[in-house]
Amino acid sequence: MAALPTEILEDEHRLIIRVVNSLNIFAQTMEDGWEIEEEVFSDLIEFMRIFAEKWHHAKEEEALFPLLIKRGVPATGCPLAQLTLEHKKANNFVSEIVKFMELLRKGDPDARTKVIQGLRDLSSYYVNHIWNEDNMLFPMANRILKDDDQQMLLREFSHIDKKHGKPLHDHLENFAKRIEEETIGS
């Protein structure tokens, strides 16, 4: 069998972490009085909205979670309802950062502090969220799901990947690698 679906999700987590690790550096840069370049900021938001929210979370919420429910994992409570709620929270963090960046561009003096805090909150959130999924949800899923389930998930993941396309995936992956090199690797 090819890679397990959870291994694909873990690989995507590693890509998300590349970007997330840079968020605290951007926050510190802004706190020190520097600005984030508009193109970098736009790419950062694009990555979080497209890759993390619409691509990665879709694999979990539209494929993995319903299958786990079908196999007896409760839809309410922990872990599935909690993780879905955390996905919404991450989406809200990104929206708040965008909102406060717009206010900062318009000259709102309080917006800078809110952008900085939003970047830090999003970073902290994702580190914890990914740990929970990698160390608790995915091992549980691998124990519960049958070989046929795993194959079905791989097909559904492939469908989600095709919907977004390889060129977009490559673009977002290259951004994640570049941002890591420019912030962490420098």
CATH class, 5-183 region: mainly alpha
**Residue 119 CB-density burial (10 A; 0-12 exposed, 13-18 middle, 19+ buried):** buried
Domain map of the chain by residue range?
A: 5-183
Q: List the structure tokens of 113.
A: 């502090």
pLDDT in tens, 128-159: 999 999 999 999 999 999 999 999 999 999 99
Task: Write out pLDDT tens, residues 70-129.
Answer: 999 999 988 999 999 999 999 999 999 999 999 999 999 899 999 999 999 999 999 999
What is the per-residue burial (b if ≥16 Cβ within 10 Å, else e) of 72-111?
ebeeeeebbeebeebbeebbebbebbbebbebbeeeeeeb
Contact between residue 120 and residue 114 where contact means Cβ atoms under 8 Å apart: no
